[in-house]
Amino acid sequence: MDFLGGNMLPSEVDSKIVFAGLAGVFSFAIGLMRLYAASSDTSGDEAPGLAKSLLLFAYSCFLKPHEGDGKGTQQDALESFYKKQAAIYDSTRSALLKGREDMLALVAAQLRARGQTSDKAHKARSTKRVWVDVGGGTGFNIEAMAQFVDVPEFFSSVYLVDFSPSLCDVARKRFARLGWNNVKVICEDARKFKLEDYESDLLQRNRTLSGSTSSSYFAEKRPEHGGADLITMSYSLSMIPDYFSVIDSLTSLLSPDGIMGVVDFYVQSKVDVSFRNHTGGLINRHVNFFGRTFWRAWFDIDRVGLEASRRDYLEYRFGTLLGANARNNTLGAIPYYIWLGCHKKPFASSSLPQEIVEYVDALVTESPYLLPANAPHALTRAVQRAAPEIRSKAFDAAVGNLASNLPLPSFFYQNHHWRIYYDEQLSKHTQFHDEYIYAFTWEDSRVDSRILHLKSDDVVLAICSAGDNILSYVMQSPARVHAVDLNPSQCHLLELKVAAYHALAYEDFWLIFGEGKHPRFRELLLSQLSPHLSSRAFQYWLRNTHIFTSKRGRGLYDTGGSKHAIRVMRWIARIFGLGGAIGGILSAKTLNEQREIWRARLRPALLSTLVNRLVVSQESFLWSALGVPKNQLAMIEADHAAACQAAAAAATTTSGTHHSAKKPTRSQAVWNYMVDTLDPVAEHTHIAADNPYYYVCLEGRFSAKCHPEYLSRQAHARLSRAGAFDGLRIHTDEIDEVIARMTPGTLTVAVVMDSMDWFDPGTSAAATQIRKLNRALQMGGRVMLRSAALKPWYIKLFEEVGGFTARCHGERRTGGQGVCIDRVNMYASCWVLTKTANLPPPTPAMDGAVGMEMESLTI
């Protein structure tokens, strides 16, 4: 057809011409690839050049028909695909197969961490480590492992199992070149591979366990577990048609304490797994409809299966240690995942998981427990006798999973039991959008320590925040510290700090949390921190490594919701040209020098009417930047109104003439509150030397001289000791939910910060929490709180119907009187409520009556 003589529009003509041109180029490329493929001889030791390798790769993957020699077997299909490209496999997969080194770093870290355990029997086993790389191909993984461990020394035996003779030939040449005699290349169907065929001691052990001495293959029952300390699968699970039987066979290959590492492609909707609690986390797991459809169709060309059931079945058959979802942005954002797992247990011969569940439940609920070496069920009986009605959410979840033959939630497979199970999909957790509010804690740990005087038998419950205060309590060695926060990310931050004590030298620890930046954070996360993190915390920090590594970013202390306040103040400083004054504050040698800079330069700008009205007094700024909810703001305004009335009354008394108080405004209330906060800090605390809370706001990091106690070298030495965090429990929940599930009378201290300021005086929420605190605390137990009010309205509830006596441990004076209750001075008062009476056991009728009574007290 003559395109120009037809009835086509110009755009259609252009499209046809472009299409014809592309078709011509494509045909030429096909011919060129076929020519290279026909002329290529990859049987030699020398691999072809890069250009030829890429053409062979493209031809083999997208053009060459996978017909084989007509046998119709899986091995035949694999050879049809790999034979021509075996020699160039490694050089053409580096950009495509992302995450392999990350997976190896993670499993190596797990093995090293387990080798450091105090369990003598485990140490004896760890001296002889066996690794099986299923679908190991050319042996790239095994050689790459040398980045993390000395393979010939670390492993007694390494088995590469692959079904492609061509790839196995490349692997044999690789290990001959390396001289690694402990590596054996087995060209065999993974379903039929039995480690005991090569490890004689395992064969004898299995026959002893089964009671059989027969050498018949059919007479021997495959064991529940095997002798491989490590099993890895790197982009091989998606290549195996009969993946169910292969995954099943791995359970009898993996040792009881062994771990598995898998990295592979995937496409999956979050909806598919939204009802599962054992998958280890959903961060970045969702792949949109277009991505799912496109990548499945694309990879299906090469018989690579991306159906969700492959990963689903893997996670069903094993317990999840860690999991992460990522995208290969080099090649069109191909989705891939990294997964570490272990036996989901229980074995038929063991009740260990049930005992672990009971043990963790007892430690979470503070129930009495026994753990004698020769009485495996004593713990269960003791807990049931003590408080059969009190169970943690972790226990409820574990029982539900075991009853359905599902793996336990990933929290139960952690190396440490710090983090307690929570359902990450609940709206009360997702409301925070995976962002913490506070990157550092606004509570003066020195004052807390002086007020509380914690002892070895204390059981403390405290709001987590950024975890700085929790670490201060742990340093005082109480029996238990329960850290509670509804925001999962705040708990992730505490987990990271605890893991860093376990895994890092002080210099690295200081860079991360002192400077707030570490160029090697991602490397440290994978190779050292990961064994000490829960799966959810690991995923969170893997996705946010840029916080510490970005050269353009300001680091940890310019993140979180509170960063908005710091950035606004930085912006104000630029407008008013205060950079030099701030530098002077940070380098001031004496308190007098600091005062002069404050009075002459900073105070006139920061406490100006313009800044107050345009920024500070705005409700959006107060909530988004400072975390001040509307009920707390109302308390600030009420105190200001009372102060205005008192001032008017005093003026009337002095002059004898009636003075009516001016109607207070929000901007006046907030301005006065800021004056009462900042003036005493600047006048009475030396920021450069001894006030890390304001130093970090101004500088964006801590200094070697000015930092919280937990960042000292002495604190690191103390908290990095074995067992330092045995008493720590991290709850991702409301305070009410945690204390309601504790055995009555077991807490001795509850530190609730300013959380009760958030309650609405018109509801019974505060009354309900006070009742629960009374129930959880032992007689003489204490509640410590801070408030934006001089005397919060709920103190009356504690005293009159809550069974507590109140004592104020710090109260600011209004009107610029210069009283600093602590180095933060952000709150108007600090209180300790001591339990002096037990409230009667709650009943529905009593709850209603007491709730009405307590509500009437707030009017």
The pLDDT of residue 803 is above 90: yes
Q: Tell me: pLDDT of 24 over 70.
A: no
Residue 309 in tokens: 């059931």
Give 200's contacts (C-beta < 8 A, 6+ positions apart). Answer: none
Q: How confident is the model at residue 668 (pLDDT cuts 50, 70, 90)?
A: confident
pLDDT in tens, 49-97: 545 544 545 555 554 555 555 555 655 555 555 555 555 555 556 778 8
Cα-based angle 648, 654, 656 (whole degrees, multiple of 5): 90
Task: List pLDDT tens digits, range 214-260.
Answer: 555 555 566 777 899 999 999 999 989 889 999 999 999 999 999 99
CA angle 116-118-120, nearest 5°? 105
- Mean pLDDT confidence for 140-148: 95
| Whether residue 796 sits in one domain with residue 756 | yes
d(CA 715, CA 510): 12
Report the pLDDT value the prediction gives residue 23, as an integer from 0 to 100: 42
178 shares its domain with 286:
yes
Q: Are residues 787 and 832 in the same domain?
A: yes
Instruction: Tell me: do 440 and 494 sit in the same domain.
Output: yes
Query: Do residues 158 and 307 both lie within one domain?
Result: yes
Q: Of 713, 730, 747, at which residue does a domain stop?
A: 730
Q: 230 and 129 in one domain?
A: yes
Say yes or no: 518 and 579 in one domain: no
Least trusted range by pLDDT, from 366-380, 630-644, 708-722: 366-380
In sequence order, the 6+-apart residues with CB closer than 8 A to the CB of 46 are: none
Instruction: Choose one of 54, 70, 87: the last residue of a domain.
Output: 87
When pLDDT is cut at 50, 70 and 90, the band that residue 274 belongs to is: confident
- CB contact at 8 A, 469 and 441: yes
692 and 775: one domain? Answer: no
What's the pLDDT tens digit per position in 440-477?
A: 998 999 999 999 999 999 999 999 999 999 999 999 99
533 & 598 share domain: no
Mean pLDDT over each residue of the chain, to the nearest integer:
82
Note the pLDDT tens digit of each residue in 307-362. Answer: 999 999 999 999 999 999 999 998 889 999 999 999 987 655 444 556 667 777 87
Residue 81: the pLDDT is: 53
Full domain range(s) for residue 609: 563-699
Question: Number of structural domains, the chain?
Answer: 6
Mean pLDDT, residues 646-669 taken together: 67
The predicted structure's pLDDT at residue 423: 93
pLDDT value for 518: 98
Neighbours of 449 (CB within 10 A): 16
CB 422 within 8 A of CB 546: no
Q: Using an 8 Å Cβ cutoff, are 259 and 110 in contact? A: yes
Low-confidence winner among 188-202, 494-508, 786-800, 818-832 (lowest mean pLDDT)? 188-202
Any domain includes 232: yes
Identify whether 772 is part of a domain. yes
State CA 51 to chain mean position distance. Answer: 43
pLDDT tens digit sequence for 746-773:
999 999 999 999 999 999 999 999 999 9
Q: 132-136, 331-335, 564-568: which range is least confident on average?
A: 564-568
Kindly state the percentage of the chain with pLDDT values over 70.
Answer: 75
Least confident stretch, 334-343, 592-601, 659-668, 707-716: 659-668
Together in a domain, 792 and 745: yes
pLDDT recorded at residue 376: 41
Are 675 and 753 in the same domain? no
- 3-state helix, strand, coil split of the chain in percent (to 5) is 50, 10, 35
Does position 120 have pLDDT exceeding 80, yes or no?
no
Q: Note the pLDDT tens digit of each residue in 377-407.
A: 443 444 344 444 578 888 888 888 888 889 9
The answer to the question of residue 490 being in a domain is yes
Instruction: Answer yes or no: is pLDDT of 695 > 90.
Output: yes
Long-range residue pairs from 607-610, CB within 8 A, at least 24 positions apart, any chain = 607/671, 607/674, 607/675, 607/678, 609/671
In sequence order, the 6+-apart residues with CB closer than 8 A to the CB of 156 are 128, 129, 130, 182
Pairing of strands 334-343, 318-328: antiparallel
The yes-or-no verdict on residue 662 having pLDDT over 70 is no
pLDDT interval class at 430 (50, 70, 90)? very high
Tell me, yes or no, whether 320 lies in a domain.
yes
Q: Classify residue 557: in a domain, yes or no.
A: no
Distance in angstroms (rounded) separating the CA atoms of residues 369 and 437: 37
Residue 267 half-sphere exposure, CB side, CA atoms within 13 Å?
19
Confidence of residue 275 (pLDDT cuts 50, 70, 90): confident
Last residue of a domain, one of 343, 377, 402: 343
Q: What is the mean pLDDT of residues 261-285?
A: 91
For residue 419, being part of any structural domain is answered with no
Determine, yes or no, domain membership for 612. yes
Lowest mean pLDDT among 348-362, 582-596, 715-729: 348-362
With tokens 């509380």, the residue in question is 452
Total Cβ atoms within 10 A of residue 853: 14
Residue 785's pLDDT is what? Answer: 96
Is residue 558 in a domain? no
pLDDT reported for residue 3: 31
Least confident of 9-13, 432-436, 507-511: 9-13
Residue 525, CB half-sphere, CA atoms under 13 Å: how many? Answer: 26
CA gap 447, 44 in Å, rounded: 74
Q: Are 350 and 356 in contact (CB under 8 A)?
A: no
Based on the fold, state whether residues 525 and 610 are members of the same structural domain.
no
pLDDT at 137 exceeding the cut of 60: yes
- Looking at residue 673, its pLDDT comes to 87
- Per-residue HEC secondary structure of 684-745 comes to HCCHHHHCHHHHHHHHCCCCCCCCCHHHCHHHHHHHCCCCCCCCEEEECCCHHHHHHCCCCC
- pLDDT of 702 over the 80 cut: yes
CATH number for the domain including 810? 3.40.50.150
